[in-house]
Amino acid sequence: MQITDIDVTMVSTDSWGEFVEFPLVTVMNKYEEYRNVDGSNPEARRKWMGPVGDVVVEVETDAGITGAGHGTWATGAIATIIEETLSKLVVGEDPGRREELWEKMYRATIPFGRKGAAIEAISAIDIALWDIAGKEAGKPVYELLGGPTKEEIPCYASNLHPVDHETLEREALDYVEKGFDAMKMRFLHGPEAGRQGMKENEEIIATVRDAVGDDVQLAADAYMGWTVRYATAMVQRLEPYDLAWVEEPVIPDDVDGYAEVRVASDVPISGGEHEFTRWGHRDLLEAGAVDVLQPDVHRVGGITEMKKIMDMAEVHDVPVIPHVGTNPTLHVIAASTNAPMAEYFPIPEWYREQQDKESTYSDAIYQHPPSPEDGTIPLPDRPGAGTELNRDALDHFEYEGED
Ligand SMILES: [Mg+2]
């Protein structure tokens, strides 16, 4: 089989709005104009994120099989890297030679790659190659990765933005009612909000913990918005709430800072969603930086790289709960003994009512989005990586980059 063409489509969530407008602490909270603490600055994240979206990549072959994957966020850069560099390396090659193609793409992009958009571009192509392999074999990708390790995939509800206490409470209880026994919320403040902000961060955790009781796993995300000193004080303060983990307390490059925060309290620390490749994740693991590793298959280099990271994490006795629960992610989780659950982004009822939206943006562009019942997702059984595209949605969200 030979790869004949690579097709790239940029899709943007900007007309959709979800998540981007919700209040939470982010890595940009340091700067006032990028904060959305009380919901009064809903444009805050758009101002620094640019058009948030995905690059959908279709790899075509002479066997009539087309594979699809996507890279995320840096849409224009990812599309350019694929069109100007990666397609030259891949078109004309055998799609089954995934390891070799991965390394060629990685080495060719080192001068401008290693982390960020170039690796996200490689991720999209790699996922498409696995999709082709699955379709050719007539099997779901997890069968090619060593077979399933579980009958269904438990998942945690990931939302709970700190809109207000009552909404948080209602949303958390809704997830319990829907059968989720794990969920993740977001912090509201970083160091810029001082002691009062710390108090409010603690209060929202207390609200959700009180609402859901002791039997629910509750995690919370700081989205890189803290310093080591602040994070240390914050996690010590949060010890009584039995959190499953506190996520991304500091910026991803501060690996030593992660390790410092981790030993400062009993609260488990997670990270990795903004880390790239096996080398980046090796550094996190070797530094003892995290209790839970959260690689993102659309960022680390695709399924080929994800498998290596999963194996490395197992050697370090660190469980992997990947960032995002897209179908390609579910295939990796299904095939791993060290990945206990998936992330799932529900649309909160309050937002659904407000916006009249029935599905999330990322769900819309694929035909069979993950759909948990009673807090678990059945193992996908269709051949490939689960990236069959929904053409209508793709057309709807496509943008040319002139935004
Ligand atoms: Mg996160």
Query: CB count, 10 Å around CB of 392?
Result: 10
Specify whether 298 is catalytic.
no
Which one is catalytic: 323, 331, 368, 396? 323
User: Quick check: is 9 in a domain?
Assistant: yes
The pLDDT tens digits of the residues spanning 85-135 come to 999 999 999 999 999 999 999 999 999 999 999 999 999 999 999 999 999
* Same-domain check for residues 193 and 332: yes
Give me the pLDDT at residue 363, please. 66
* Same-domain check for residues 132 and 162: no
Domain that holds residue 114: 3-138+387-397
Give me the pLDDT at residue 362, please. 61
User: Quick check: is 402 in a domain?
Assistant: no
* Same-domain check for residues 209 and 349: yes
* Same-domain check for residues 188 and 326: yes
The pLDDT tens digits of the residues spanning 131-160 come to 999 999 999 999 999 999 999 999 999 999
Residue 87, amino acid: S
**322 CA to middle of ligand 1, Å?**
10
Residue 32 to residues 45, 188, 386, Cα–Cα distance (Å): 12, 14, 41
Q: Which of 235, 278, 279 is nearest to 257 (CA)?
A: 235
**97 CA to middle of ligand 1, Å?**
32
Helices (H) and strands (E) in the chain, counts: 17, 11
* Same-domain check for residues 69 and 95: yes
**137 CA to middle of ligand 1, Å?**
34
CATH (domain of 235): 3.20.20.120
- Please give the tally of structural domains in the chain: 2
**pLDDT bucket at 266, cuts 50 / 70 / 90:** very high
Give me the pLDDT at residue 403, please. 44
Helices (H), 356-399: 361-365, 391-397
* Same-domain check for residues 14 and 157: no
**C-alpha to C-alpha distance for 131 and 134, rounded to whole angstroms:** 5
User: Quick check: is 316 in a domain?
Assistant: yes
* Same-domain check for residues 127 and 148: no
Chain-centroid distance of CA 8 in Å reads: 21
**221 CA to middle of ligand 1, Å?**
6
User: Quick check: is 258 in a domain?
Assistant: yes
Is 314 in contact with 337 (CB distance < 8 Å)? yes
Q: How far apart are the first and last CA of the chain?
A: 38
Provide the 3-class DSSP secondary structure of residue 54. Answer: strand
- What does the DSSP 8-state code read for residue 347? P
**Mean pLDDT of the chain, nearest integer:** 93
Return the percentage of the chain with pLDDT > 90, whole number. Answer: 82
Tell me: pLDDT of 282 over 90: yes
User: Quick check: is 403 in a domain?
Assistant: no
* Same-domain check for residues 131 and 148: no
Q: Which of 273, 329, 272, 277 is nearest to 106 (CA)?
A: 277
**C-alpha to C-alpha distance for 248 and 65, rounded to whole angstroms:** 39
**267 CA to middle of ligand 1, Å?**
16
**C-alpha to C-alpha distance for 104 and 114, rounded to whole angstroms:** 13
* Same-domain check for residues 201 and 243: yes
**323 CA to middle of ligand 1, Å?**
7
* Same-domain check for residues 188 and 123: no
* Same-domain check for residues 207 and 347: yes
pTM beyond 0.75: the answer is yes
* Same-domain check for residues 373 and 249: yes
Least confident stretch, 187-201, 324-338, 346-360, 377-391:
346-360
Is 106 in contact with 300 (CB distance < 8 Å)? no
**275 CA to middle of ligand 1, Å?**
12
User: Quick check: is 190 in a domain?
Assistant: yes
CATH (domain of 67): 3.30.390.10
**85 CA to middle of ligand 1, Å?**
30
